[in-house]
Amino acid sequence: MLDLKKSETGAPEKASEEEAGAVAVPLHPAPLRPYLIAAVLLGAVYFLYAYIRFTHFQSPSWDLGIFEQEVRAYAAFDAPVVDIKGPGYLILGDHFSPVVALLVPLYWIWPSAAALLFAQAALFAFSAVVVGRTVQQILGGRTGLCVTAAYGLSWGLQEAVKADFHEIALAVPLIALVCRALLLGRWRAAVLWALPLVLVKEDLGVTVAVVGGLLALYGRRLQGLLLAAFGVFSFALTVLVLIPAASSAGTYDYWKKIEENGGQQVSPLDSVLGVLDSSVKLEMLVFLVGITAFMALRSPLVLLVLPTLGWRLLSQDSNHWGMVWHYSAILMPVVFLAMADGIRRSRESKRPWLVSYANVAVPVAAAIAVALTQHLPFRELLRPETYRADARTHAAEEALRAIPVGARVETDITLMAHLTADRTVYWIGGAPGTAPDVVAINLDFGWSQPIEDPVKYAQQLHPEARYRITREAGPFVVMERTTKAP
């Protein structure tokens, strides 16, 4: 039997056999222009915040430099060697993310780490169009733009922007498109959008398998089982074969995040029993569904969060548990579109209180997003001092100018992503025997022990070479090798 729906002009039309089965109510008009405007505004906010932090040398980790080295290698048609992880380190032996090669055309135009920040901002903004417009088509009224704002300001995306660029930026719009296709009953589209996820990061193969499970739940059993099998096979292939083959250690190193805690073995039973053993984990889970006014729990679509939550909660690394870093960004399109589905289902409930709550859930979610923003990264954009370069920024810029283009540089996080475009960059202490041309350090970086004598420290790292200070600027010290390269 065919369902009836409305075209974007509002006229009813018949759903195709491909789309029949999931959409039980007519779709509402959703003009594209307002969402494109919203996307431009959100993208501008994302990039502005990321770019200010980048130009003020506030990168929180080495990841931006790692990804630029990877994209730079692809742009030169070379193997994706990332020297920050170790001289000659093939990054596909760490995480399997070949899809980042799609950023190469942008990098040819703009060979800078800032190009990656721009790409991430654009991808997140595009996902907001997908999420918001889908919500309006399902729920009607002004719900779509409200959800666009709530989604665009969600803590998962804000923290991902703060954490610089990561490969999950490419997964966020794909997952949004998968969820949209599932909600609109476009089964073939759901499959096609899900397939590339296995090239974004190795664990997303399990997410693809859950997409297959949802397809089977919605009645597309053959498609669902085939996609689920593909997802499981891809996950197994990447973590058991492809990554170990590319890794110098011959293993998938991230099993240790679950199996070890501080170097001590953790049994599988203890890992499972410890899934909810931290208030940080519980807080993250509450806020994950709380930003949807808890309506996401009314939709089977919310099952798509389980693979990512699974490995994060099993991990012994506390960085994976909470609301910071980039790990929750891929969950945002899932929970917001699950919210739309949950509201749609609740409006058909026989319980009056649930119907009444469903009718106000969208503005409640928008209010929650606005209220949370005052405690989230983007609040800094409202402060004038955010835009001013301080003495530390000027000192870092002076140190950069003292490092020759093309040099091999060993450095810490502070300067790293500003050097990877036109120098060979190593992580401090991670390149023994290389005798780099320059060692550049930030004495205020937060070393386990203060560095009293920078030259002595450089020569401890590289006893095969000798160094002298060529520039001191604030806490930054630049040292050049005075002996010949070994």
What tens digit of pLDDT does each residue of 78-95 get? 999 999 999 999 999 999
Q: What per-residue confidence (pLDDT) applies to 266?
A: 86
The pLDDT of residue 257 is above 80: yes
Q: What per-residue confidence (pLDDT) applies to 408?
A: 97
Distance from C-alpha of 67 to C-alpha of 80, rounded to nearest angstrom = 10
The pLDDT of residue 26 is above 80: no
Q: What is the mean pLDDT of residues 365-370?
A: 93
Q: How confident is the model at residue 440 (pLDDT cuts 50, 70, 90)?
A: very high
What tens digit of pLDDT does each residue of 114-173 get? 999 999 999 999 999 999 999 999 999 889 999 999 999 999 999 999 999 999 999 999
The pLDDT of residue 336 is above 90: yes
Provide CB contacts within 8 A for 270, sequence distance 6+: none
The percentage of the chain sitting over the pLDDT mark of 90, rounded to a whole number, equals 85
Q: What is the mean pLDDT of residues 179-203?
A: 97
Instruction: Count the residues in the chain.
Output: 486
Q: Which of 17-26, 90-99, 148-157, 374-383 has the lowest mean pLDDT?
A: 17-26
- The rounded mean pLDDT for the chain is 92
The pLDDT of residue 74 is above 80: yes
The percentage of the chain sitting over the pLDDT mark of 70, rounded to a whole number, equals 95
Q: Which of 16-25, 131-140, 237-246, 415-424 has the lowest mean pLDDT?
A: 16-25
